[in-house]
């Protein structure tokens, strides 16, 4: 017997869904981005100690990228069962998977202890992290968006806002740990503490998440139609153009995210800034980014997803040429300006509205799969940008080339969002065919 759907517009369940999505995203991205911070400041010494510093950084960023490669797999896997069985079950599973993987990273032996087995185990656990976060995002966004009856951009954005908040928490924990135990002890064992804390966060997240009901949109669809045997095939067969345009819209946001939250850390350290100084700047910008994401997403409810995202892409494309000179100035104040303006003001214009935009592209019984796949394919930009930029520097390239690459991705976003059309008027319960017809009309 199928459960009766929750009442549409239930404000209590909407608040619980948004709170669950935000906290779940904070916890997931605390774990996932903690790895990014660690890869920039310590993993090269711990797991790749037989390489010279720059080569070790490249190798460390390479393991970072594996997590992003695994994210589309997680999106498809969790999306398949999320579209067939429901959003809530998959979210509980994804959170558990992430918490366990992060804890195990915290107890991994180093290269000095077990040799080459250490980086191999690190890569495997990073893949598990990628699968988990790939399944988390789509379900968390849909829990909020499908509970909302209005202001979908605002409510869905709290999942995206969880990412910089998770980054802020992870960098605070990392920097406090480094300060408390000292540089030598931090490299030797102190870096493990933030990963071991994942168990505590996992317990908190599961407590909140288990109190949320299934979304009314999915429950109604489940009561009216049989699940599709292969949601992925439905997306690839019926909506390939929409999927590709969606990836193009989001790609630059992730390239910039990887630049501002990972690559810029190692770049600033090599430019002469202390690790703690860089981490503090990143913490401030990550905390402020929460406000930027929610604010610009709310604006997209009023003005539309297309104008906000396009304007953000143009602004970031221009700002890319100011970012590295600000860091190269050697001024702590200008370093703070560089990351705050980039991560807290401009990047949220592109990134915040993506949560609602991706949910508005697909039908209910393939939405988890479609939204997750589009978002996670775009997310490859965050995984590979630091690696590619580190390689550019290793080959003797300058920062102007990096800025040109960023600007090129921003131009791609402008083109794709203009071709895709406005999505904010799409109803989530509307069949996919009618949504596609509406987009073609635009």
Q: What pLDDT is stored for residue 384 in this prediction?
A: 84
Percent of the chain with pLDDT over 90: 33
Structure-token pair, residue 224: 């009216």
pLDDT in tens, 151-203: 999 999 999 998 888 888 887 888 888 888 887 888 788 888 888 988 888 88
Domain membership of residue 6 (yes or no) is no
Taking alpha carbons only, the member of 161, 153, 28, 74 closest to residue 369 is 74
Task: Over range 369-396, report the average pLDDT.
Answer: 86
Task: Over range 98-115, report the average pLDDT.
Answer: 84
Burial class (CB in 10 A: 0-12, 13-18, 19+), 203: exposed
Q: What pLDDT is stored for residue 346 in this prediction?
A: 97
Domain extent for 103: 11-441
CA dihedral over 310, 315, 316, 317, signed as positive or negative: positive
Task: Over range 80-94, report the average pLDDT.
Answer: 88
Greater pLDDT, 436 or 104: 104
DSSP for 155-206, written as a single string:
HHHHHHHHHHHHHHHHHHHHHHHHHHH-HHHIIIIITHHHHHTHHHHHHHHH
Number of domains in the chain: 1
pTM given for the model: 0.82
Residue in the structure block whose two tokens are 């930027």:
292
Task: Over range 87-102, report the average pLDDT.
Answer: 88
Domain membership of residue 4 (yes or no) is no
Average pLDDT, the chain: 84
pLDDT in tens, 350-372: 999 999 999 999 988 889 999 99
pLDDT tops 60 at residue 402: yes
Task: Over range 21-35, report the average pLDDT.
Answer: 82
Percent of the chain with pLDDT over 70: 90
Domain membership of residue 50 (yes or no) is yes
Q: What pLDDT is stored for residue 249 in this prediction?
A: 96
Confidence of residue 58 (pLDDT cuts 50, 70, 90): low
Give the list of residues 6+ apart from residue 258 with CB closer than 8 angstroms, or none: 381, 382, 383, 384, 385, 386
pLDDT tops 80 at residue 392: yes
Q: What pLDDT is stored for residue 133 in this prediction?
A: 84
Domain membership of residue 5 (yes or no) is no
CATH number at 115 reads 1.20.1250.20
């Amino acid at each position: 017997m199928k459960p009766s759907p929750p009442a549409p517009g239930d404000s209590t369940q909407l608040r619980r869904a948004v709170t669950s999505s935000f906290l779940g995203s904070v916890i997931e991205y605390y774990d996932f981005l903690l790895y990014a911070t660690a890869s920039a400041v310590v993993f090269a010494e711990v797991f790749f100690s037989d390489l010279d510093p720059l080569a070790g950084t490249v190798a460390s960023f390479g393991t970072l990228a594996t997590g992003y490669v695994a994210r589309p797999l997680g999106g498809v896997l969790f999306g398949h069962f999320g579209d067939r069985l429901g959003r809530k079950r998959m979210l509980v599973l994804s959170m558990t998977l992430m918490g366990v993987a992060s804890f195990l990273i915290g107890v991994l032996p180093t290269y000095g202890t077990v040799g080459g087995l250490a980086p191999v185990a690190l890569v495997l656990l990073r893949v598990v992290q990628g699968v988990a976060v790939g399944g988390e995002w789509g379900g968390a966004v849909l829990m909020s968006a499908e509970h909302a009856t209005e202001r979908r951009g605002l409510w869905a954005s709290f999942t995206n806002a969880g990412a910089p908040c998770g980054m802020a928490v992870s960098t605070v924990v990392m920097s406090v740990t480094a300060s408390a135990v000292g540089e030598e002890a931090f490299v030797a064992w102190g870096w493990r503490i933030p990963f071991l804390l994942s168990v505590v966060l996992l317990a908190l997240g599961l407590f909140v998440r288990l109190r949320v009901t299934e979304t009314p949109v999915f429950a109604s669809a489940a009561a009216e139609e049989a699940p599709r045997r292969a949601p992925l095939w439905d997306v690839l067969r019926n909506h390939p153009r929409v999927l590709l345009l969606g990836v193009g819209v989001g790609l630059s946001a992730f390239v910039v995210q990887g630049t501002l939250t990972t690559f810029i850390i190692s770049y600033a350290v090599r430019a002469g800034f202390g690790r703690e100084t860089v981490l503090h700047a990143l913490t401030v910008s990550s905390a402020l980014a929460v406000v930027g994401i929610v604010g610009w997403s709310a604006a997209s409810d009023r003005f539309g997803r297309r104008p906000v995202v396009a304007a953000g892409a143009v602004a970031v494309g221009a700002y890319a040429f100011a970012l590295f000179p600000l860091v190269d100035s050697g001024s702590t104040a200008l370093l703070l300006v560089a990351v705050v303006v980039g991560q807290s003001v401009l990047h949220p214009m592109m990134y915040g509205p993506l949560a609602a935009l991706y949910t508005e592209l697909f039908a209910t019984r393939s939405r988890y799969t479609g939204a997750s796949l589009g978002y996670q394919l775009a997310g490859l930009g965050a995984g590979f940008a630091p690696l590619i930029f580190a390689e550019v520097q290793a080959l003797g390239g300058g920062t102007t080339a990096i800025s040109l690459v960023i600007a090129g991705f921003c131009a791609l976003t402008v083109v794709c969002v203009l071709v895709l059309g406005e999505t904010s008027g799409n109803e989530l319960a509307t069949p996919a065919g009618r949504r596609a017809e509406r987009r073609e009309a635009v």
